[in-house]
Amino acid sequence: MPDFQQLETMIPVAPLKLVVLDSALELGDKVDKYLVDFRNNMHKVPAGDPAFKGYVQDSYKVIPKLDRFASGEAKASLNDSIRGDDLFILMDVVNYNCPYKMNGFTNYKSPDDHYQDLKRVIAAANGKAKRLNVIMPFLYVGRQHRRTQRESLDAALMFKELADMGVKNFITFDAHDPRISNSAPLNGFDNFMATYQFMKELLFNIDDLIVDKDHLIVISPDEGALDRAVYFANVLGADTGMFYKRRDYAHVVNGTNPIVAHEFLGSNIKGKDVIIVDDMISSGASMIDTSKQLKEMGAKRVFIACTFGLFTDGMDKFDDAYERREFDYIISTNLTYQNPEYMRRPYYLVADMSKYIATIIDFVNHDASTSNILIPTSKIHEIVKKYNEGDHTLSELR
């Protein structure tokens, strides 16, 4: 469990400010409310101590102004003073619901647009803020994390660029490959996982789950996600398995080699509940095929847990698969934009990450160790133990 009391003995780096870009307004509001609650109700700080000046506020949020010229170019400006502050910039590069007008047309910001906005905000704050920290839940160009022959190495280039602009700490979630931090080895890079929040959401909504190796198995949909599945399974005391994706390397479709077949490697799953864990759902075709095969192999229920539910082709194929009972629930997070229409579906659960982000910010602002936040094994053990003892209405589950 995070030791919040240790923060009361540590001087913050500087007064805290949370800069929220237009791509993360809803998440930013929730994070700000938790920060206000932490510092108004949980922390006890010495009154009148200049080291804690501005520590308790009604809000830490700053909304930058992002103006766009008629040519389509843009600029960023900060109307609030951030001089000497410890700045945390929160944004969402895959929010496709941020419109702007140009030449009479309504356009929507792409990941490239959001990234450019981030750099503009950094440029506006540089030289004034005490320290710059970026919270980018979905790692921009994280899928292009390695280079083969004559290809760009976009993820490493992005991180190096931000480090050169003065960003001292970079915080992301479930990075496709966190080794991009090697491109700027002297800067902070933290990669957090949503394992605890997945488990909270699952236990809160499912009353008859039996969490042990005889009734539950955690599956990786491919070899790349195996580390997540192994950690999740070990913490829960469950069994684990994986699918091997056989690809057609003679062709490229939508930037990747198409999958020919999924082949399962693991023990018998007949009659067991299955949790599939992965970092993202893009179009979802691969995930649906995986869950379908698990049901055909005799799985009792299939729960799909992904950090980032992008659903780039919409939800129609998931609606059809749900009607065919090829999966039972999807659990995603609010780290990226959540389409309200998607969240109304009976099989769609959202793991709220705002309190987790606020906790991370609180600790980083004090330069405190985040090791017990990074790996919340004890917290998962605690809620699973209470759940198995029959307590399904725990306050900890919310």
Per-residue pLDDT of 143-202, as tens digits, reads 777 777 788 888 889 999 999 999 999 999 998 888 888 888 888 999 999 999 999 999
Which runs of consecutive H residues, i.e. helices, occur in the chain?
A: 25-37, 111-125, 154-164, 195-205, 226-236, 285-296, 316-323, 340-343, 354-365, 371-374, 377-388
CA angle 42, 35, 360 (to 5 degrees): 100
- Tell me: pLDDT of 398 over 60: no
Least confident range of 1-10, 26-35, 143-152, 374-383: 1-10
Domain ranges (residues) in the chain: 2-191+353-365, 193-350
Least confident range of 47-56, 73-82, 347-356: 47-56
Least confident range of 203-217, 250-264, 335-349, 366-380: 250-264
| Nearest by Cα to 337 from 175, 141, 158, 108 | 108
Looking at domain 193-350, its CATH architecture is 3-Layer(aba) Sandwich (3.40)
Highest-pLDDT range among 141-155, 203-217, 345-359:
345-359
Highest-pLDDT range among 48-57, 93-102, 215-224:
93-102
Given pLDDT bands bounded at 50, 70 and 90, which one contains residue 132?
very high
- Tell me: pLDDT of 253 over 90: no
Q: Are 152 and 112 in contact (CB under 8 A)?
A: no
Selected residue with higher pLDDT from 272 and 72 = 272
Say yes or no: do domains 2-191+353-365 and 193-350 share a fold. Answer: yes
Average pLDDT over residues 358-377: 87
Given pLDDT bands bounded at 50, 70 and 90, which one contains residue 64?
very high
Task: Write down the pTM of the prediction.
Answer: 0.91
To the question of domain 2-191+353-365 being in CATH 3.40.50.2020, the answer is yes
Describe the strand order of the beta sheet including 188-192 as a list of residue ranges.
61-62, 16-20, 86-90, 131-135, 167-173, 188-192
Selected residue with higher pLDDT from 154 and 131 = 131
pLDDT at 115: 97
- Tell me: pLDDT of 45 over 80: no
